[in-house]
Amino acid sequence: MALISTPLHSAAAEKLYDQFLHCIATNDTDRLLDSIQNTDPTVLPSVFRKLTDKERVVTWVLLNQGASQVAANLLDLFTEDEQRLLVSLLPTHVIVCMFRYLRSSDRRRLINELPSEIKLQLKQALPDSWRNEENAALFYSPDTVGGICKSEILKLGEDASVADLANMLHTEEQDSELLEWRYVYLHDALGCYLGAVKIRDVLLLTYDEKLINHLDRTIPAALPEQDIHSLKSILDTTLHPVIPVVSEQGFQIGVIGTTQLNKALYDYSNQQLLEQSGVFGGEEFRNMSILSRNLRRLAFLLPSVVLSYAAVSIIAAFEPIIEQIAVLAAVLPLVANLSGAAGNQAVAVSIRELTVGHISSKDSLYVIAKELPIGALNGLVIGGVITLLTLFNHGSEYIGLPLLIGAAYTVSSMLAVMIGGALPLLLKRINLDPAMLSSPVLTTLTDAISFFSVLYLAQTFLL
């Protein structure tokens, strides 16, 4: 099964696709590598997706024979679901060979997702020098420092000398592209972290000089349980490109820097965007199964049906007033939509401030106090515009109706921004995802408030 059935849209892509098919048919590893390395990288994703499952498996088997690291790097061209599918189809020996070259976060994700019989082989395929660190990192979720840190580090005992460091660098030369080589980390006999030494600071020292005498005391450490936003605060206040990740027990499971942080923040931002748009369960692409896509979307739509029905039930309670003043049926959606837009602006600001740490889940009163004047001023301005528009179109029928609609919007606007600002904080406080739940809950509340304010004022003052 091909991941996509859409045609390739360039001559270069068509040519590369034909070359791939020829290499697959002839088992020509050298030509396959040459085709990949000498083509426009932008056409590779579409060409790989055009291949069938069987053709992709053969491609990765061939790549693994000549360049396991290239095979591992090319997995970055696929989404997480596509990576999982491809890796699950590959022979075990191919997975084992390229496993060490994957990014730390990708290795952990695949270990947790692949069948248990393969997990042990993958763990054993890791180099002895950082196998324990990688195994320790598996206990932490992907949204924590421990889940995204880099395990490929240089570690030595407390009695290590410059000569020991030189020998280690020589031994690990084949993995130099994977290792964090700017620092060497020292630990005691029990494996507890002691500190870090900049390698450039000891290169000119004599071979018998002890590394522990040159620890850099300015290097902070992060706990593996910390979230990425706490990590950002630490990295923003240090000049070091990477910092060690050390558990409360003193075991160093790796290092983390701006590269891992930026990748995690990018993934977090994409996830928030999808959830705010009503797409749950991660990325969605049209090459996924229809059932999977349906279930993801229904997870948002079904609760929205219940919430929306609860909001419109208010209209049924005021049905007599609508029958007498039919223009209200046209005005209600206008007031509700504008109130919802104002509330969503407040939601966006609150989620952003929560993300960067400007506010916490306990700052609801502060947020409400800051949003109230914004809602009042914008409510008066937009309410005035609505009043004028209604006056020009329907003012001759009911003289007081335009003023009532403008007043109703002002009230709705103030309540919408206060609720929109405080709702993400409340959801965060009860351990629910603000990005996922704020939009449907806010829409229900703003619709209900808008419908009630317009209809109640009309019933009170026009009848």
- Rounded to 10 degrees, what is the CA torsion of 125, 131, 133, 137? 30
- pTM for the model stands at 0.69
DSSP secondary structure string for all residues of 135-151: HHHTTS-TTBHHHH-B-
Segment 330-343 shows an average pLDDT of: 92
Instruction: Evaluate whether 222 touches 256 at the Cβ level (below 8 Å).
Output: yes
Which helix (H) or strand (E) covers residue 167, if one does? helix 162-171
Q: What are phi and psi of 66, to 5 degrees?
A: -105, -30
Instruction: Evaluate whether 399 touches 393 at the Cβ level (below 8 Å).
Output: no
User: Which of these, 170, 177, 119, lies nearest to 152 by C-alpha position?
Assistant: 177
List, for residues 24-45, the tens digit of each pLDDT value.
Answer: 999 999 999 999 988 888 899 8
Please state the separation of Cα 220 from the chain's center in Å: 26
List, for residues 207-261, the tens digit of each pLDDT value.
Answer: 999 999 999 999 999 999 998 888 988 999 999 999 999 999 999 999 999 999 9
Q: Is the pLDDT of residue 127 over 60?
A: yes
Locate the domains of the chain by residue range.
Answer: 1-125, 128-262, 301-462
Which class is 1-125 in CATH? mainly alpha
Segment 400-428 shows an average pLDDT of: 92
Q: What CATH superfamily is the domain 128-262?
A: CBS-domain (3.10.580.10)
> Does the CA dihedral 144-145-150-151 come out positive or negative?
negative
Q: Identify the CATH number of the domain defined by range 301-462.
A: 1.10.357.20
DSSP 200: G
